[in-house]
Amino acid sequence: MTEQLILGAVLAGGRSSRFGSDKALAVMADGRTLLDHAVAGLAPHVAQVVICGRDDGLADRPAPDMGPLGGLNAALHHAQNHGFAGVLTTGCDMPLYPAELPAALMGTGAAILKGQQLLGWWPASLAPELDAHLAADNNRSIHGWLDRIGARVVEMPGLVLPNINRPEDLAGL
């Protein structure tokens, strides 16, 4: 069996409105940014990591300010155009990426970790479907997308991951 090429994508295009400043660049106690931690957590599991929704990364598709689905769409098209089988995603506010997560997510169709919709596995073949979803009259909710494609929800009992939405969340780590 041929080993699949997997793309990693850090979804980092949010407005950080609850955080009050650019969350991706917030510095943790070790001196590294949340974005640095997200990239480092994903990197061992993929052939390449891209950052979506930032000036120095992949631009949201089809337009800026599409929310996480704009970044995912950019990553899916990048994956499809560069021979990747699919995309493992994480958010820039997720400084930990469990080593056992890719094996739990990857399989038939798309999958997300229960309660963490940005921690997911997305086959590259979903790119045209996400184009159609974003072109339709909808609120661009990731929940609507998950329902549309029938994504699996993976449960990992006992796994508790920090999610940084406010400065006090970062201070609490």
Q: How many CB atoms lie within 10 A of CB 148?
A: 15
Which residues carry a binding-site annotation for GTP?
Answer: 11-13, 65, 93
What is the fold of 6-171? Answer: Spore Coat Polysaccharide Biosynthesis Protein SpsA; Chain A (3.90.550)
The whole-angstrom separation of Cα 93 and Cα 38 is: 7
Which residues carry a binding-site annotation for Mg(2+)?
Answer: 93
The whole-angstrom separation of Cα 1 and Cα 17 is: 45
Pairing mode, strands 6-11 and 48-52: parallel
The whole-angstrom separation of Cα 151 and Cα 142 is: 11
155: nearest Cα among 84, 90, 101: 101
Please say whether the beta carbons of 133 and 148 come within 8 A: yes
Please say whether the beta carbons of 112 and 154 come within 8 A: yes
Task: Note the pLDDT tens digit of each residue in 131-156.
Answer: 999 998 766 788 999 999 999 999 99
Per-residue pLDDT of the chain (173 residues; tens, 9 = 90+): 346 899 999 998 766 556 656 778 778 878 888 899 999 999 999 999 999 998 889 999 998 888 899 999 999 999 999 999 999 999 988 888 999 999 999 988 999 999 999 999 999 999 999 999 999 876 678 899 999 999 999 999 988 887 777 667 777 66
Which residues carry a binding-site annotation?
Answer: 11-13, 65, 93
DSSP state at residue 103: H
Cβ within 8 Å of residue 155, ≥6 positions away: 114
